[in-house]
Chains A and B, each alone.
Chain A
């Protein structure tokens, strides 16, 4: 065979894959059918036609789409959504700050600091977040008054009632934030461990202090490892906030339950809530992609493509394939 002859390559046919795809498509079609089908309400409507009653069953959307969209931008729902977002943001801020501090404490050469950090993680990771929420919500039973003063004396600098500070919203933020901090510290720690020891040595050889090294060199590189699980944590937190219903905080789910109490239509309302949670988590995933791309700079020779860049590349690929088929361009093996 000489070099200028182009050889036709016959790819392997994957019969099993085609069969599987057909089966999956069938199931999807069935599922979509149930989405768009109507079911009888149980009531019947009868009309007098030519002296005789003609009756037919009343029908309604199985998923109650009319109700879903009617309540989708309902004031109560939107207010609940704002509360959910606030809880997520505040709890994550507390969690991230605590997590970073605890992770650094954990690596400290000071035994007391690292033991304190370990105990914190042990306690808050070892008990269910739901129980922690209930404890913080009822903290006034343990500490009806909160005072700052000198221990074992009655000298107080500051004191106030627990219920004024630990409103159910504040208790929820504290509980979620403290719980998150325990998990987040482990994420930060794994990121710090992942950075090559040589980076620290090079930095301190320049005369940089431990703090400067951590801030300018180690943490920015640890971010690359920290970001993906952080995205996970934010999305997880968004959903975990729904537990605050236990403290009667009117978050998205709380608002939904209120509405169910009025219209007795649970399923459409639950679907509505799921749709909102899905929308927010989708937006968060997109944000995560761009954040990862930003922190990958320097670590990868070529950063990952954005979806629009990928689309453009795919279109170019299809165009060149089309040209090859028409014999305009002889393709080379990939």
Chain B
């Protein structure tokens, strides 16, 4: 049996006394799309941010591609990784944010090349070539010289996806990628994500787009108050939820 891409066992996380994750178990298989749904404050984003170590989990075990996140197990002890090792772990995981977070001081092309040139030591030409290919893929050829503020929200988010892909990650994390977009721009971003899913990318998506979850996800996890209330394949859990919490959540969002 192959090692799952992400595996969390009894994950805990607190912010100053408030427990946000209360023992979360999660398995993400390779090449699959996993959607995390749930009301705000349920811990979806925190779980996602733990996966690339933007947040440090307090207890439990979290593995990406079989490797512990943020720690190294040697001789029965856990050793905290140093900054360089953590950077290396992160460089293999792409992250897309709700508010795009494109680098404001760099143009579109530079946004896509800064990671590969600084972190992976790619040459300028190689990075530019890859960046141009990715821009074509997300439908933004010809925007290389534009600055982020000159683009629409949907275009910015597509650049952000391309920026993450430029690092050739083995896993992509999406933190409510369409929540900050005008309704008419949501489609273009979801199309890029669907295309990415079809290409076999392993994706974890925090989303409120139930149609996307139904259509693309292999597994849907419903989080509420820091625990996973229900999980399973989207058809069954979104159409015939068993827990009353998911039932009431779905009645509000659908």
> Chain A: residues with CB nearer than 8 A to chain B?
196, 198-199, 201-210, 212, 216-217, 220-221, 297-301
Min Cβ gap A63→B in Å is 49
Which residues of B are found within 8 Å of A205, using beta-carbon distances?
52, 54, 90, 93-95, 164
Asked, given contacts A206-B119, A207-B87, A216-B114, whether A199 binds B149 with beta carbons under 8 Å apart, the answer is no
Our pick among A207, A298, A299 for the contact of B90 (Cβ within 8 Å) is A207
Mark the stretch among B19-27, B100-108, B208-216, B239-247 that contacts chain A.
B100-108
The chain A residue with its CB closest to the CB of B146 is A298
> Is there an interface contact between B103 and A203, defined as CB atoms closer than 8 Å?
yes
Contact digits for B50-65, partner A, Cβ 8 Å, 1 yes 0 no: 0010100000000000
Asked, given contacts A201-B54, A220-B105, whether A206 binds B97 with beta carbons under 8 Å apart, the answer is no
Our pick among A199, A206, A221, A297 for the contact of B167 (Cβ within 8 Å) is A206
> Is there an interface contact between A298 and B88, defined as CB atoms closer than 8 Å?
no
Which residues of B are found within 8 Å of A299, using beta-carbon distances?
104-105, 149
The chain B residue with its CB closest to the CB of A220 is B105
Q: Determine the main DSSP class of A at the interface with B.
A: helix
Min Cβ gap A209→B in Å is 5
Asked, given contacts A206-B90, A207-B91, A216-B114, whether A298 binds B119 with beta carbons under 8 Å apart, the answer is no
The chain B residue with its CB closest to the CB of A210 is B83
Our pick among B84, B91, B149, B160 for the contact of A298 (Cβ within 8 Å) is B149
A208–B167 Cα gap in the complex (Å)?
A: 11
The chain B residue with its CB closest to the CB of A218 is B105
> Can you add 15 more A-B contacts, CB < 8 Å, to A202-B97, A212-B118, A300-B149?
A199-B101, A202-B101, A205-B54, A205-B95, A205-B164, A206-B115, A206-B163, A207-B92, A207-B119, A208-B115, A212-B119, A216-B118, A221-B104, A298-B106, A301-B150
Our pick among A196, A207, A217 for the contact of B88 (Cβ within 8 Å) is A207
Min Cβ gap A299→B in Å is 6
Which residues of A are found within 8 Å of B95, using beta-carbon distances?
202, 205
Contact digits for B169-198, partner A, Cβ 8 Å, 1 yes 0 no: 000000000000000000000000000000
Q: List 28 A-B contacts (CB under 8 A).
A: A198-B101, A199-B101, A199-B103, A201-B54, A201-B97, A201-B101, A202-B97, A204-B87, A204-B90, A205-B52, A206-B91, A206-B163, A207-B88, A207-B89, A207-B167, A208-B115, A209-B83, A209-B84, A216-B114, A217-B105, A217-B106, A217-B114, A220-B105, A297-B105, A298-B106, A298-B107, A298-B149, A300-B149
The chain A residue with its CB closest to the CB of B49 is A201
> Is there an interface contact between B103 and A217, defined as CB atoms closer than 8 Å?
yes
Q: Give 8 nearest A-B pairs by CB, closest first.
A: A207-B91, A206-B115, A202-B101, A198-B101, A205-B95, A298-B147, A220-B105, A207-B119
The chain B residue with its CB closest to the CB of A299 is B104
A265–B250 Cα gap in the complex (Å)?
A: 89
Is B70 in contact with chain A by the CB < 8 A criterion? no
Which residues of A are found within 8 Å of B54, using beta-carbon distances?
201, 204-205
A202–B93 Cα gap in the complex (Å)?
A: 12
> Is there an interface contact between A209 and B87, defined as CB atoms closer than 8 Å?
yes
Which residues of B are found within 8 Å of A202, using beta-carbon distances?
95, 97, 101-103, 160, 163
Which residues of B are found within 8 Å of A212, using beta-carbon distances?
118-119
Is B99 in contact with chain A by the CB < 8 A criterion? yes
Which residues of B are found within 8 Å of A210, using beta-carbon distances?
83
Contact digits for B100-140, partner A, Cβ 8 Å, 1 yes 0 no: 01111111000000110011000000000000000000000
